[in-house]
Structure 1
Amino acid sequence: MEEKESKQTLYLVMGGRVTDPRSVTFSDPESLHVAGVFSTYEDAESAWRANAQRTVDDAEMKYVIVHLHKLLEPDA
């Protein structure tokens, strides 16, 4: 009997300076800080929180969590 493989989840945490604090349009995409790729949302959120707290006094800095698995398999 064949075991069904569970879907892998991947989360990217990245951040940088944005053109408007209400958007996610980065002013210099080439200089984005990549905090890492994580296999659980909890780990990604911890990394996001740590980086967001570190830059909390700079309104033009924003960190986000990107669901890579949704980009890699959009129909899943």
Structure 2
Amino acid sequence: MPETSEKKQLLHLVFGGELASLEGVQFKDLENLDVVGIFPDYATALTAWRAKAQQTVDNAQMRYFIVHMHKLLDPDTKGA
């Protein structure tokens, strides 16, 4: 079989919403979470995260996060 030089997918989820308080990570309204998307690598997710964070810079309680989905899907994988 021929080898493929396809890059391994390291999926990342970018999402955010308004926090109930600045002291924790509890969202004010789960129904209004903003799911930005799922991205194939960290660099792409970081670009999307920065764009959304910049758009909401005037709201101190709005936070966006990057979730390393590949670590949740395959927790035994080392590195990356």
1:43 corresponds to = 44
2:56 corresponds to = 55
SS for the counterpart of 1:27 is coil
| Count of residue pairs brought into register by the alignment | 75
2:15 corresponds to = 14
Distance in 2 (alpha carbons) for counterparts of 1:6 and 1:47: 20
1:31 corresponds to = 32
Q: Unaligned stretches of 5+ in structure 2?
A: none
Check the 8 A contact 2:9/2:41 in 1, yes or no: no
Please list every run of at least 4 consecutive aligned residues from structure 1 whose deviation after the TM superposition is greater than 3 angstroms.
Answer: none
* RMSD (Å), alpha carbons: 2.0
SS for the counterpart of 2:15 is strand
The alpha-carbon deviation at position 20 of structure 1 amounts to 2.1
Distance in 2 (alpha carbons) for counterparts of 1:44 and 1:15: 13
Identity of aligned residues (%): 55
Q: Unaligned stretches of 5+ in structure 1?
A: none
Per the normalisation by structure 1, the TM-score is: 0.83
